[in-house]
Structure 1
Amino acid sequence: MSSKPSTSHDIAQGLSLAIHEHRIAPGTKLGEDELAEIYGVSRTVVRAALQSLSHIQLVEIRRNKGARVASPSLAEAHEVFEARELLEPRIARSAAARANATDIALLERHIRDEHAALDASDPGRALYLSGLFHNEIARIADQATIAGFVETLVARSSLIIALYWRHERALCEKHAHHALVRALADKDEAQAEALMKSHLVDLHSALDLRERNWRAGSLKDALTQ
Structure 2
Amino acid sequence: MAGGIQEISSDRVATELADAIHAHRIAPGTKLNEDEVGTIFGVSRTVARAALQSLAHMRLVDRRPNRGAYVAHPGPTEAIEVLEARALLEASTARAAALRMSDADAGALRALIAEEHAAEAEGNHGRGVYLCGQFHLEIARISGKETLRELLEQLVARSSLIMAIYGRGSTAGCVNAPHHRLVDALAAGDADRAEWLMVEHLQTLISSLDLDRRTRPLSLKEALVP
- Partner SS for 1:98: coil
1:138 is displaced (CA, Å) by 0.7
Structure 2 match to 1:3:
none
Q: Percent identity?
A: 46
Matches for 1:10-89 after TM superposition, within 5 Å: 16=24, 19=27, 26-29=28-31, 43-44=39-40, 60=61, 65=67, 68-89=70-91
Cα distance between partner residues in 2 of 1:215 and 1:125: 19
Q: Distance in 2 between the 1:67 and 1:138 partners?
A: 31
Q: Do the aligned residues in 1 keep the contact of 2:141 with 2:149 (CA within 8 Å)?
A: yes
- Identify which range, 184-193 or 161-170, moves more after superposition: 161-170
Q: Which runs of 4+ in 1 moved over 3 A?
A: 15-19, 28-33, 57-69, 212-216
1:4 maps to none
Please state how far the C-alpha of 1:150 moved relative to its aligned partner. 1.7
| Structure 1 residues 46 and 77: CA distance shift in structure 2, 3 A | farther
| Distance in 1 separating the partners of 2:145 and 2:113 | 23
Contact 2:132 2:175 in 1 (8 A): no
Match of 2:155 in 1: 153
Partner of 2:48: none
Match of 1:39 in 2: none
Kindly provide the amino acid, as one letter, of the partner of residue 102 in structure 1: A
**Structure 1 counterpart of 2:115:** 113
CA distance, structure 1, for counterparts of residue 113 and residue 214 of structure 2: 35
1:154-202, Cα deviation, whole Å (9 max, x unpaired) = 1111111111112321211512111100111111111111110110001
Please state if 1:98 is matched with 2:100: yes
Superposition deviation, residue 109 in structure 1: 0.9
Query: Is the 8 Å Cα contact of residues 60 and 158 (structure 2) preserved in structure 1?
Result: no
Q: 1:16·1:58 contact (CA, 8 Å) conserved in 2?
A: no
Aligned to 2:12: none
Q: 1:117 to 1:67 in 2, by over 3 A?
A: farther
Matched letter for residue 40 of structure 2? T
Structure 1 counterpart of 2:191, one-letter code: E
Which amino acid counterpart does residue 92 of structure 1 have in structure 2?
Answer: A
Which piece of structure 1 moves more, 188-197 or 143-152? 143-152
Instruction: For 1:160 and 1:46, locate their aligned partners in 2 and report how far apart those are by CA, in whole Å.
Output: 30
The structure-2 alpha-carbon separation of the partners of 1:92 and 1:16, relative to structure 1 and needing over 3 Å to count, comes to closer
Q: Post-superposition shift, 1:46?
A: 9.9
Decide which moves more: 144-153 or 196-205.
144-153
> Would you say the 8 A contact 1:96–1:184 is kept in 2?
yes
Q: TM-score, normalised by structure 2?
A: 0.69
Tell me which amino acid in the other structure corresponds to 2:209.
L
- State the number of aligned residues: 200
Q: For the structure 1 residues 197 and 136, does the alpha-carbon distance in structure 2 shift closer, same or farther, using more than 3 Å as the test? A: same
SS of residue paired to 2:209:
coil
On the 8 A contact 2:92/2:195 being kept in 1, the answer is yes
Q: CA RMSD in A?
A: 3.9
Alignment of 1:184-203 (within 5 A): 184-203=186-205
Give the one of 111, 122, 125 matched to 1:123: 125
Structure 1: which 5+ runs fail to align?
Answer: 1-8, 20-25, 36-42
Post-superposition offset of 1:104 = 0.6
* Alpha-carbon distance in structure 2 between the residues aligned to 1:213 and 1:161: 11
CA distance change for structure 1 residues 29 and 147 in 2, over 3 Å: closer, same or farther? Answer: closer
